[in-house]
Amino acid sequence: MTTKNSNPKPKTQQLAVRRLGLADYDTVWALQKELARQRISGELAHDTLLLVQHPPIVTLGRSTKYEHLLSAPEYLAANGILLRDVERGGDVTVHEPGQLVAYPIFDLKQHKKDLHWYLRQIEESVIRAIAEFGIAGTRSIGQTGVWIANRKIASIGVHARDWVTWHGVALNVNNTLATFDHIVPCGIEHVVMTTVKRECAAVGRDAPTIDEVADSLAFAVAAVFGLRLARCND
């Protein structure tokens, strides 16, 4: 029988973290699908978190309304911005350098077979991570993601097969937000996007580096999902 003063049960499940730096979207997309296949088959023993930045790209989720893409594909291509239809949920979003993208390859059979629960856990992870830098993140009822008052700082879109997840969360750290000019972010009219850097400046704090935010997010994800953080490999 456990008592109030008993030591907590040690975390035995690991979270392997892989830092990919600035990496091509298609390469990382293929890696996610391969790791998910391995997690489904049992070849991959532990949940894995990929942390990465991407060159400018617009991605269209399964719920995208094409009027939310404000620039023609030809214009995007001429300006060096990729465009991809992907299998994640959600509407249109972008990635660009300075934005931290986290892709959890998680087996929800080892956690809880509930995608709504999973989305709330991802939101909680981001909220805890940015709290380390004095930023009070919140949820917005009916709108997946993380907000600072009426400003959106993180967008989430996921996919799962056999309860194994891929795709994930994009947290604006010190990106310019320029690529967002080409879309209606997540299909939300008049949304104001923000970054960790801007929110820190607003309260007179020094902004963390993207590596510091990556560290904080990795620790938060491990804590929220009850995992033991494995040594990060760069």
* Residues annotated catalytic, as ranges: 186
> C-alpha dihedral over 214, 225, 143, 147, to 10 degrees?
-40
- A 10 A CB-CB count for 133 gives 19
- As a whole number of angstroms, the distance between CA 118 and CA 123 comes to 9
Phi, psi (degrees; rounded to nearest 5) at 168: 170, -125
For residue 118, CA distances in Å to 29, 124, 210 come to: 20, 10, 24
CB-based contact 57:84 (threshold 8 Å): yes
